[in-house]
Amino acid sequence: MRTKTIAYWTTTGLVALAFIAGGLTDAAGSPMVLETMKHLGYPAYFAMLLGAWKLLGGAAILSPRFPLLKEWAYAGMFFDLTGAAVSHAASGDGASKIITPLVLLGLTVASWSLRPATRKLEGAAPSVQDTGRAEPARVAA
């Protein structure tokens, strides 16, 4: 159990650091960020919006309560990172620009799947790690 806790906090810390640092950079509207937004075909104001969401998401996954908020934050991170990879691929960027968000996505998925029970929604379907086998989600009647 201690190894799982260490793995959870390591992946969560790395993801939170990446999102908070990226959020600050995006929200500041640095010239490099604005040039990247232009290259990808997004308006400049989109950097400020993404920056705010990244800051909130990084804070949400570190917070001690609010499991529903954490679920939304992880979902937003999934959308952000897959969108970044696809945007870079569609813009003809090199492999490093495509792989970087996918590596961060792997850390995000690991953080989400390693969460302790206290950071999960009550009544949520157990994960494979909780039970040792996959079970279908149960829907209340």
**pLDDT by position in tens, the chain (length 141):** 899 999 999 999 999 999 999 999 999 999 999 999 999 999 999 999 999 999 999 999 999 989 999 999 999 999 999 999 999 999 999 999 999 999 999 999 999 999 988 888 886 555 555 555 555 555 554
CA distance 138 to 3: 29
Give 136's contacts (C-beta < 8 A, 6+ positions apart).
Answer: 125
Express each pLDDT in 12-36 by its tens digit.
Answer: 999 999 999 999 999 999 999 999 9
Question: What's the pLDDT score for residue 120?
Answer: 87
